[in-house]
């Protein structure tokens, strides 16, 4: 069975929300560590200089970017714009395109 692009956007929107829950939890834990003491700040700073941490931050940023773009699409559709099948497909393609561009820009900024 081949899923339409609108289904992929919906599935990815839910997945990005789940990634955000976990990712924000990890980032909040690191924030708490950095605020606990000067040693905690130094260790959190070291963590953020590693490639793995940059990859995690980029992943959370990518999830936030995609989730926001898809959320805006849903808000626009709630106002009655793009409710047809053609409008939904176009909106889904726009979400993927805009998200991809913004995620690449975020990756360039982080790295």
- pLDDT, tens digit (0-9, with 9 covering 90-100), for 43-70: 999 988 999 999 999 999 999 999 999 9
CA distance 105 to 103: 5
Number of domains in the chain: 1
Residues of the domain holding 55: 18-110
Model-level pTM greater than 0.75? yes
Q: Is residue 10 in a domain? A: no
Q: 90 Cβ partners below 8 Å, 6+ apart?
A: 82
Report CA-CA distances (Å) from 106 to 13, 18, 27, 31, 59: 18, 20, 17, 21, 10
Q: Is residue 64 in a domain? A: yes
CATH number at residue 46: 1.20.1300.10
Is the pLDDT assigned to residue 1 strictly greater than 90? Answer: no
Is the pLDDT assigned to residue 111 strictly greater than 90? Answer: no
């Amino acid at each position: 069975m081949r899923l339409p692009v609108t289904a992929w956007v919906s599935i990815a929107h839910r997945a990005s929300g789940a990634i955000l829950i976990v990712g924000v939890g990890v980032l909040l834990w690191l924030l708490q560590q950095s605020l606990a003491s000067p040693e905690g700040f130094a260790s959190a700073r070291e963590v953020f200089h590693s490639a793995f941490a940059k990859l995690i931050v980029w992943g959370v940023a990518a999830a936030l970017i995609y989730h926001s773009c898809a959320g805006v699409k849903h808000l626009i559709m709630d106002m009655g714009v793009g409710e047809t099948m053609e409008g939904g497909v176009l909106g889904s393609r726009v979400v993927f395109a805009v998200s991809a561009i913004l995620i690449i820009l975020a990756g360039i900024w982080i790295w």
